[in-house]
Structure formats: C-alpha cells, structure tokens
Amino acid sequence: MENFTSDVLLELIQNDNESETIEYKSNLNDTGQICKYISALGNAAIASLNPRAYLIWGVEDITKKIIGTKFDPYTSKARILPKDGNKKRMKNSNYPFITYIEENINPKIQLEWKEFKNVQGRRLVVLIIDVTHINQPIKYKGVEYVRSGTSLKPLNEFPEKERQIWKSFESSKFEMEFAKTNVSYPDIENLLDINFYKRTINMDIIHESDIIQSLIEDNIIVSSGNSFDITNLGAYTLAKDMNSFPHLKRRTVRITKYEGNYKTDNAVYDAIGNMGIIVGFHNMIVNIMRHIPYVEDYTGGIRNDIPQFPELVVRELLANTIAHQDFTISGMRPMVEIFNNRIIFSNPGVPLIDPMRFLDFPPRSRNTELADLLGKFKIVESRGTGIDKVVASLEEHELPALEILTKGTDATQVTIHSKKLFKDMSPTEKNESIYWNACLHYVNDEQINNASLRKRFNLTSNDSSLISKAISNAIEANLIKLYDEKAGRKFVSYIPFWGVSVQNRYKI
C-alpha cells in the first residue's frame, strides 16, 4: 500500500475499537505465534469483507499508547516454540524470519512490511495482510486459526465463523467478474456459442427474451440497463474464440504429448484450447485419447486397439482439473501431459480438502458457479462421485492407483500410470493401490482382506504371502488399519486409516 503513511497509521490506531482485524504487540518475536496471528487476522478480514488486516508492533494493546518497538522483521531469524511448549528453550534459528512465514502460510497472500521510524517520536512496524483475491481460509502449517477473545484457536472449533468465512467468498468470485461489458444480444451471439448452449441442455427456445433469461440465471451474462455484461464464467465456458478474451485464454487447457517418458523428449503434439472449456471439452477428450498409447487385443480372433487408459478416467480427471483450479494464481493454466507410461493432469492451486480424503469427504469447490455449470452440462458429477469412478475404473483395468501430489501451495498434479504387474510395482505404488482400494470398499460399507486384494491385483492363492507383506507395509505407512483387532486370523480385514474400527464404533 503506497499510500499507507504514518498519518494513515495514526488514524487507524485512534479509530480502532477492538477490531478483530487489528492486533497490537510490543516486541513479539515468536515466529509461530506471529504466523497464527496472520492466519487469524486474515480470516477475520475475510469474514468481515475487509480487504486487509494489520499486525502492529510498538503499540500497547488496551490503551493504544504508542511505546515503540525494537522488532525488525528484515534482520530477524525465525524463532519457533519447541514442541514441549517451553518458551525458555526457544532459540533463534538460521532461517530468515520473513522466508519462514512466506513458506508456511497457505494460500500465498500478499504480506507487506512497513517500518515507521518516527511516529510520535517512536519506531513502529506494521504488517499489512492483504486478503483480496483469496478464496479459502488462511492456514499456518495446515491449520486455520481464528481469534477467540485474547486467544488464538483452530477455526474448526467455531463452525459458525467457518460458515461465515466460506459465505464471504461468494461476494467476490472470479467467475462473476466481467469479461466484456456493455454488449448487445447480437454481440453475445457473436462472442458466445449460444446454439451450442441451447442444443446441449435441450432448450427448445425461440424467443430471444427467454434465452436471455436463461443465460442470466446461469450467471453467463448480467443485465446492465439496455445492454449486458458477459461474466468470466460465461466467456470461459462458452466463448467461440478465446482470442476475444485474452485474459481468459491464458486459463485454457494445454495438452502436450511427449515422444517417450520424459519431458526432455520431443513434443509430438502441443495445443492450447481456443474455445470455451465447455464448448471444447469433447474435442479435448478426443485429442487426449488420440495421443495416448494403445495396445492390441485379439479377443475372439478380431483385432482391437485398446487404449492404455480408460476414457472415463481421462474424462473425470480432466473435468476435475478444470473445475478445481485456483483462478487467483496467475501465470499457470490447466495442463495435460501425455507420456508413453503415464498421463499427468495439473492445475493451479491445491485442493480445499486433504487429497487422501477425496473419497469420503463431501465435495467442496472453490469455483461453485463453474462447478454448477459444468454439472448442468454433464461434465462433472454434481454428487461428487467422480473420484470414486476413477478409482474403480483404474482397478477394473488392473492399473496402479492414481497418484495425487501438491506442489507447494501453487499446483496439484494427478498422475495415472500404465498397466503394471503386481511384482513390478514399487512399494509406494502398492501402498497407494491398497489404500484407495480400502477407501472404495469402506465408503460402500465393506472392508478389504487378503483374498479381496488378490482379486484386485489378479493374483492367485499362491500369492497370499506377497499380499500379506504388502498389507503389512501399508499398515506401517499408516494408510490402513485393522477393522477388528479381536477378529480371528481367518476373519482379519482392513479399513483406511481414517475409518472407524469395531472397537471405536460406539465411542463418543
């Protein structure tokens, strides 16, 4: 904030009346505690629809008396409270203070440090926490914090505040910003594929007024006097030519096919979408399926070319890649990279829920309007069962489980691998395949066991010991656990690590 002067700071201090978006400290240098304040203050700003929150050093908390501070964020090293909570054992590390904060606060937010050397003769330091363009609560080491009186508490202990924060995101969504303003209906027909829109959702509409009303209800356009504004949602999904919307073209999907198994291999195909993602979705699927490896099958004496990766899996993962991207992250776009032995689906942003819980947690989308429209066009599962279908289809085709990785706080990668025999799988691939199999069974009120896993990996009873060893490894990796600790050897079964065992089923 270039205009944040000492006069603005004084006015902020004098007018503040116990605001949840401002905190005063003298010489606080506990880095972990400061990170918790950033999370709590930022979340308070989000909930109250304030664009910024402030952490101010050199002012007394209650009296607002300016006393000055020696705290210097630029020269300080990170100071972290030890796990035992003993403040006497807290020491400076060699890690830069500001770098530690930037790496441990998620999502990436704009943090601006300002030093004022002479405010009523005292030195003050201000941290400005900018929460504009944020579409999820702010976390420190994966935990969201909120202020409760003078204490900092995990946000999940206050469900009403958590609902308020999520509700606040609805007021400033990327989808509802305008891609084009002051356009006529003929302009809309030139820019958006209205015929595709009507045809796909089986709208037998003749009157222009009815079409306009439907487009407004789907948040594709907004009425503005005698003209209309096209939303980002409308342009991103239905554009005839994305060159008409340059800022959105950078968000279209890029599909690249490499000659071998490495990015250093030649790219034999590299294309960027030039239509709205709903209009062009079918073409994207066709292009991906055209470039994946195929294997020959001679069942019944007739040759068939079978794709190494099921189209259902490709479709669901592409849809999720588009639907769950974070539009606040610039310089990145959804990508599909095709290698001979795998396909990688990448999107900007990290999931709002733990990837390990995709099968049992209710779906949560950061782009609700986009998700709703994709659901209306039958591109995504509105019930959130897409990942179930992916896991089940991979197992049906005897493929390894999907691999989900977050890249820092900026990107998510989902990888599917080509067919491998159980003996050729790495320990990690075996663990993940067993885990997702356990998840799929658990959500259907079933458990896995040695026999069911042999069936999953197309093994015989002679391979029982191999599966037993793999089960032990998955338990050791904390991915699965016993369903009934007291079950006899013949009745031993397993559930995901987050599942409820027999012994804990009736505990409160």
CA distances from 483 to 378, 486, 494 (A): 37, 9, 5
Per the listing, tokens 């709208």 go with: 203
130 and 273 co-located in one domain: no
Quote the pLDDT of residue 81.
64
Rounded Cα distance between 323 and 230, Å, is 19
Could you tell me if residue 388 is inside a domain?
Answer: yes
- The tokens describing 146, both together, are 């909120």
Same domain, yes or no: 340 and 461: no
Same domain, residue pair 400 and 254: yes
What is the distance between the alpha carbons of residues 253 and 317, in angstroms, rounded to a whole number? 13
Which of 172, 201, 217 delimits the end of a domain?
172
Whole-number pLDDT of residue 166: 78
Give the CA radius of gyration of the chain: 27
Do 214 and 358 belong together in one domain?
Answer: no
Which DSSP string corresponds to 179-217?
A: EEEEE-HHHHHHHB-HHHHHHHTT-----HHHHHHHHHH
Q: What is the pLDDT of residue 174?
A: 84
Q: What is the pLDDT, as a whole number, of residue 340? A: 94
Answer with the one of 363, 384, 417 that is the final residue of a domain. Answer: 417
Could you tell me if 295 and 367 lie in one domain? yes
119 and 147 in a single domain? The answer is yes
Task: Determine, yes or no, domain membership for 72.
Answer: yes
Cα distance between residue 113 and residue 340, in whole Å: 48
Per-residue confidence (pLDDT) for residue 413, from 0 to 100: 95
Is this model's pTM higher than 0.85 or not?
Answer: no
pLDDT at 358: 87
CB 71 within 8 A of CB 124: no
Q: Is residue 431 part of a domain?
A: no
The reply to whether 295 and 401 lie within a common domain is yes
Element at 411 (helix H, strand E): strand 411-417
Report the distance separating Cα 162 and Cα 148, nearest Å.
13
Both tokens of 272, joined, read 């960027």
| Structural domain includes residue 289 | yes
**Phi, psi (deg, nearest 5) at residue 279:** -60, -40
The answer to the question of residue 422 being in a domain is: no
Beta bridge partners of 119: 122
In terms of domains, do 441 and 382 share one? no
CATH of the domain at 260: 3.30.565.60
CATH classification at residue 62? 3.30.950
Its domain, for residue 461, covers: 437-504
Residue 292 lies in a domain: yes
Question: 317 with 402, same domain?
Answer: yes
CATH code where residue 451 lies: 1.10.10
Query: What pLDDT is recorded for position 51?
Result: 81
Identify whether 96 is part of a domain.
yes
- Report the number of distinct structural domains present in the chain: 4
Residue 302: its pLDDT value, please? 67
Are the C-beta atoms of 313 and 333 separated by less than 8 Å? no
Assess whether 392 and 299 both reside in one domain: yes
Note whether 268 and 242 are same-domain residues. Answer: no
pLDDT at 508: 39
Per-residue pLDDT tens digits of the chain, which is 508 residues long = 557 888 889 888 887 665 788 999 988 888 999 999 999 999 998 888 788 899 999 998 888 899 999 999 988 888 776 655 555 555 667 788 899 998 899 888 889 999 999 999 999 999 999 887 777 899 998 899 998 877 899 998 888 888 778 777 655 578 888 999 999 999 999 999 999 998 887 766 668 888 999 999 999 999 988 899 999 999 999 999 999 999 999 999 999 999 999 999 999 999 999 999 999 999 999 999 999 988 876 666 666 788 999 999 999 999 999 999 988 788 899 999 999 999 999 999 888 788 888 888 777 777 888 988 999 898 987 555 688 899 999 999 999 999 999 887 689 999 999 999 999 999 999 999 999 999 999 999 999 999 999 999 999 999 999 999 999 999 999 999 999 988 888 889 999 999 988 877 654 3
Q: Using CA atoms in the order 381, 384, 389, 394, what is the torsion angle rounded to 10 degrees? A: 120
Question: 184 and 116 share a domain?
Answer: no
Last residue of a domain, one of 417, 450, 483: 417
Is 428 a domain residue? no
Residue 25's pLDDT is: 92
